[in-house]
Amino acid sequence: MRRKTIILSLGGSIIIPDRINTAYLKKFRSLVLRYVRAGHRFVIVTGGGDICRHYQHGASAVSHVSAADLDWIGIAATRLNAELVRSVFGPHAYGGVLGNPMRRVATAKRIIVGSGWRPGHSSDKDAVMLAKVYQAKTVINMSNIPYVYTADPRKSSTAKPIKRMSWGGLLKLTGSTWRPGAHVPFDPEASKLARKLGLRVVVCRGTDLKNLGSVITGKKFRGTVIA
- Average pLDDT over all residues of the chain: 96
pLDDT value, residue 127? 98
> d(Cα 6, Cα 3) in Å, to the nearest integer?
9
Which residues share a beta bridge with 138?
A: 200
For the chain, domains (ranges, CATH) are 5-226 (3.40.1160.10)
Q: For the chain, list residues with pLDDT below 70.
A: 1-2
pLDDT value, residue 133? 97
Q: Are 220 and 144 spatial neighbours (Cβ–Cβ below 8 Å)?
A: no
The pTM assigned to this predicted structure is: 0.96
**156-178: pLDDT as tens digits:** 889 999 999 999 999 999 999 99
Strands (E) in the chain, as ranges, are: 5-10, 41-46, 111-114, 138-143, 148-149, 161-162, 164-165, 200-205, 224-226
